[in-house]
Amino acid sequence: MSIQKAFLFLLAVAIALGALVADAPEATAQPATAQPAAGQPVQLHVVPSDGPRGGVTVNPTIDPDRNLHGDRVESHGKGMALLFWVFAAASIGGALFVVTRRNLIAAVMGMVGSFLGIAAVYMMLYAHFLAVVQMLVYAGAIMVLFVFVIMILNRPEDEPVAPTGHVGQVVGGIAILYLLFRLGMLLAHVHVPASAQLAPPPMQLPGGEVADWGTVKAVGSDLFSGGLFPFEAISILLLISVVGAIAIAKPLKDDDGEDADLGEDLATAASGAPHTDGGHA
Amino acid sequence: MGDLVFDIGYGHFLVLAAVLFVIGMAGVLIRRNALIILMSVELMLNAANMTLLAFSRMWGDLSAHTFALIVIAVAAAEAAVGLAIVVAVFRGRRNVDVDRLTALRH
């Protein structure tokens, strides 16, 4: 499909362009310095971590210019704007691909592109750890699972979109137009405070350490202090879901052997067409 | 207009998340393939996560990152169970068209 290739090509070009522009001095941080600049003693004031959750709190007394890892990019400037629009277009285009494509593999590929854009947008929100987790878990694990299931049930769809009458189309069109209008008004009226443009200050961890916002250390500290019970509950949930998935997807004993083949033959005969390996049409 | 294009603020992230959510919701509503519906649900979860992270940065509170991490884990569990159900349904019926799954309709 040429539209898929065009989309992927545009995505690659846009990412390359964005990376080039991001290297321009306007939007990038200072060159990476492993150590804080000498002669600038970092003032650390240990605050008692009696926040609402006893977790990570922002310490306003930390010097906001303190540069831990040299990756404090201020989220303003034309380079950042270009990157945002590129990755927003990637995520929305991929999402539209998911909804509109007939071919399931194309839909999954659009989903991966969408997740890539979303991870980049997470990065712009200073959620470095979650951006990496997004790529690992979604694009790496869940989408592979989807591809495997699509390979198992490889059948083209008869009619991918549910039929709607003229009334439904008109009402849906009006609703979408109104939604876009409201979104545009919202976007036009959002006031961007000056403090929002700056990189978020480093976090004061309970142990007295300091970590950049959104990094593994900061998120982990919060996760294992305030979110410890949800974390443990998630582990139980994942175990249950694994066991449940195996139990659900396991073939019944009656389906084994000849009966399963017989059923497949019957289904093939009933559908009136041989079992084609279509789906890439 | 230039401000809208070049000054990327919270509104941009929130509107992007809203657009993604609406696209996912449209996918759930108009598509009939169960796999596409599951993918659209994942899309909506991602949009919610993006909103969480935008407000997290706005308020300077990292606990939204923990919440988003847990949402991702729940989404993974949901995808595993949902895909298992899709496979089980396909095994019995040879299609995953949700409009034709009317066995529970009285």
pLDDT digits (tens, 9 = 90+) for B45-54: 999 999 999 8
Chain B residue with the nearest C-alpha to that of A172: B26
Q: Closest Cα partner for A86 from A11, A183, A197?
A: A11
Q: Which residues pair with A58 in a beta bridge?
A: A203
pLDDT digits (tens, 9 = 90+) for B11-55: 888 889 988 998 998 888 888 888 999 999 999 999 999 999 988
pLDDT digits (tens, 9 = 90+) for B64-97: 999 999 999 999 999 999 999 998 888 888 778 8
- H helices of A141-227, in order, are 143-152, 166-189, 194-197, 216-225
| H-helix or E-strand spanning residue A132 | helix A128-133
* SS3 at position B38: helix
Separation of alpha carbons A18 and B11, rounded Å: 21
Separation of alpha carbons B8 and B30, rounded Å: 32
* SS3 at position A58: strand
Inter-chain residue contact B23 with A149, CB threshold 8 Å:
no
Separation of alpha carbons A40 and A275, rounded Å: 72
Inter-chain residue contact B8 with A76, CB threshold 8 Å:
yes
Residue type, A28: T
Separation of alpha carbons B10 and B50, rounded Å: 11
- CATH dotted code for B2-100: 1.10.287.3510
Q: Which residue has the tokens 């990152």?
A: B65
| pLDDT at position A60 | 47
| pLDDT at position A277 | 44
Measured between CA atoms, how close is B31 to chain A, in angstroms? 5
Residue A162 lies in a domain: no
Structural domains in chain A (count): 1
Separation of alpha carbons A177 and A171, rounded Å: 10
Residue A119 lies in a domain: yes
Residue A161 lies in a domain: no
- Sign of the alpha-carbon dihedral angle for A255, A261, A263, A264: positive
Q: Which residue has the tokens 């899709």?
A: B86
Residue A214 gets which letter from DSSP? T
Chain B residue with the nearest C-alpha to that of A136: B72
Inter-chain residue contact A85 with B68, CB threshold 8 Å:
no
Domain that holds residue A151: 2-35+46-155+169-271
Within chain A, strands assigned E span 57-58, 203-204, 210-211
Contact, A260 vs A251, CB < 8 A? Answer: yes
Residue type, A58: V
Residue A139 phi, psi dihedral angles, 5° rounding: -70, -30
Residue type, A18: G
Chain A residues touching residue B80 (CB < 8 angstroms): 145, 241-242, 245
In order of A154, A239, A241, the CA distances from A246 in angstroms are 21, 11, 8
Measured between CA atoms, how close is B27 to chain A, in angstroms? 5
The alpha carbon of A150 is separated from its chain's Cα centroid by a whole number of angstroms, namely 21
Give me the CATH number covering residue A95: 1.20.120.1200
Structure tokens at A184: 């545009």
Separation of alpha carbons B72 and B52, rounded Å: 12
Residue type, A57: T
Measured between CA atoms, how close is A95 to chain B, in angstroms? 7
| pLDDT at position B79 | 93
- Across chain A, which has 281 residues, the per-10-residue mean pLDDT values are 65 62 41 38 38 43 48 63 91 92 88 94 90 91 90 70 71 82 75 64 77 84 87 93 90 57 48 44 37
For chain B, the structural domain boundaries read 2-100
| pLDDT at position A279 | 41
Residue type, A77: G
Give the number of A-B residue pairs with CB atoms closer than 8 Å. Answer: 243
| pLDDT at position A92 | 94
